[in-house]
């Protein structure tokens, strides 16, 4: 296929259904690249990888990142996220590490050079046992990914930018990067995403284009609501301008989390139109 252009518009999508059907749906959105999410229960056998590889080749569709989600994760509110998401819950830490390595192998079988996940709420206290365990785990994932020439990207949102930056410096692995999601910064109330991009810029290797609002005031643990692109508080034009200013050239992966697939596809289609228009203006 033709090489991707700078800031090519892409889509964050989920595997777990038939590969040919999913690729056909993506192509109908008018995009030719994106990030593939792997649900926790999805089989990752060589046969499944071969199915996806041929469907993607047939559809001339480039996957730039393979994202891992894990069984048992729940994003209902901040305390639930802290209890269930990523590598923080101790009871599932070992099995999720194993799953992350399997996702890296699966991505390698597809020829994809980047893997990513939400690692969860990392404690700010660097001597906390969960901090130490997750830092060491992230190092092991990076080292495994490096053997496949992959980067490993952490999704932003669950901690303020300076905290994430400190964690990065502590992990100290060349192939560790950030998948920057501006809406998460707002929905988790962790800071203005444009200022965060300034702080984190040298580590940003991929982005989500997602929109959302701040958490409701006075409701303990509440998270903000996600909105279709352009209807939340991110300000897509300033986000794209900032990406351009920091020299980001990778895909703009539209993420829409609506449960209803009709709503999701409609909003992604509108998102593609919005980004096309804004990209022409910046």
| Binding status of residue 226 toward Mg ion by CB under 5 A | no
| Binding status of residue 144 toward Mg ion by CB under 5 A | no
Q: Which stretch binds Mg ion (CB under 5 A): 37-45, 135-143, 205-213, 270-278?
A: 205-213
Nearest to 87 by CA among 32, 142, 44, 35: 142
| Binding status of residue 99 toward Mg ion by CB under 5 A | no
Q: Which is nearer to Mg ion, 142 or 186 (CB)?
A: 186
Q: Of 73, 97, 181, 267, which lies in the binding site for Mg ion, with binding defined by CB under 5 A?
A: 181
| Binding status of residue 73 toward Mg ion by CB under 5 A | no
Positive or negative torsion for Cα 251, 44, 2, 175: positive
CA distance 140 to 142: 5
CA distance 212 to 226: 4
Query: What is the b/e burial string over 191-226, where b = at least 16 CB atoms within 10 angstroms of the residue's CB?
Result: bebbebbeebbebbbbbbbbbbbbbeeeeeeebbeb
Q: Which stretch binds Mg ion (CB under 5 A): 71-79, 163-171, 174-182, 211-219?
A: 174-182
The count of other CB atoms within 10 Å of the CB of residue 175 is: 19
Q: Which stretch binds Mg ion (CB under 5 A): 136-144, 195-203, 208-216, 242-250?
A: 208-216
Q: Which stretch binds Mg ion (CB under 5 A): 32-40, 54-62, 86-94, 200-208?
A: 200-208
Positive or negative torsion for Cα 279, 35, 190, 169: negative
At closest approach, how far in Å is the CB of 117 from Mg ion? 11
Q: Which is nearer to Mg ion, 32 or 208 (CB)?
A: 208
Q: Which is nearer to Mg ion, 8 or 181 (CB)?
A: 181
CA distance 58 to 24: 10
Lay out the site mask for Mg ion across 241-260 (x = CB under 5 A, - = otherwise).
Answer: --------------x-----
| Binding status of residue 97 toward Mg ion by CB under 5 A | no
| Binding status of residue 208 toward Mg ion by CB under 5 A | yes
The DSSP call for residue 233 is S
Nearest to 223 by CA among 82, 12, 118: 82
At closest approach, how far in Å is the CB of 188 from Mg ion? 11
Residues of the shown chain interacting with Mg ion in the complex, contacts defined by CB under 5 A: 181, 208, 255
């Amino acid at each position: 296929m033709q090489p991707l252009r700078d800031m090519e518009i892409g889509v964050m999508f989920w595997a777990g259904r038939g590969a040919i059907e999913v690729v056909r749906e993506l192509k109908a959105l008018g995009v030719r690249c994106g990030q593939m999410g792997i649900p926790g229960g999805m089989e990752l056998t060589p046969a499944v990888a071969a199915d996806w590889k041929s469907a993607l080749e047939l559809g001339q569709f480039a996957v730039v990142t393979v994202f891992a989600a894990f069984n048992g994760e729940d994003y209902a509110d901040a305390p639930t996220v802290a209890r269930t998401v990523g590598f923080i819950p101790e009871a599932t830490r070992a099995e999720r590490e194993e799953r992350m390595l399997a996702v890296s192998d699966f991505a390698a079988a597809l020829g994809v050079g980047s893997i990513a996940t939400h690692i969860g709420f990392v404690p700010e206290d660097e001597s906390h046992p969960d901090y130490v365990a997750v830092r060491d785990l992230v190092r092991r994932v990076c080292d495994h990914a490096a053997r496949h020439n992959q980067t490993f990207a952490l999704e932003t949102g669950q901690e303020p930018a300076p905290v994430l930056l400190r964690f990065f410096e502590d992990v100290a692995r060349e192939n560790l990067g950030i998948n920057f999601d501006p809406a998460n910064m707002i929905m988790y109330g962790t800071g203005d995403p444009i200022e965060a991009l300034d702080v984190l810029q040298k580590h940003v290797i991929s982005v989500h284009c997602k929109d959302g609002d701040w958490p409701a005031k006075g409701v303990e643990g509440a998270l903000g609501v996600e909105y279709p692109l352009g209807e939340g508080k991110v300000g897509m034009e300033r986000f794209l301008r900032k990406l351009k200013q920091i020299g980001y050239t990778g895909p703009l992966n539209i993420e829409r989390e609506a449960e209803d697939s009709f709503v999701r596809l409609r909003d992604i289609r509108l998102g593609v139109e919005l980004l096309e228009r804004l990209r022409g203006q910046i």
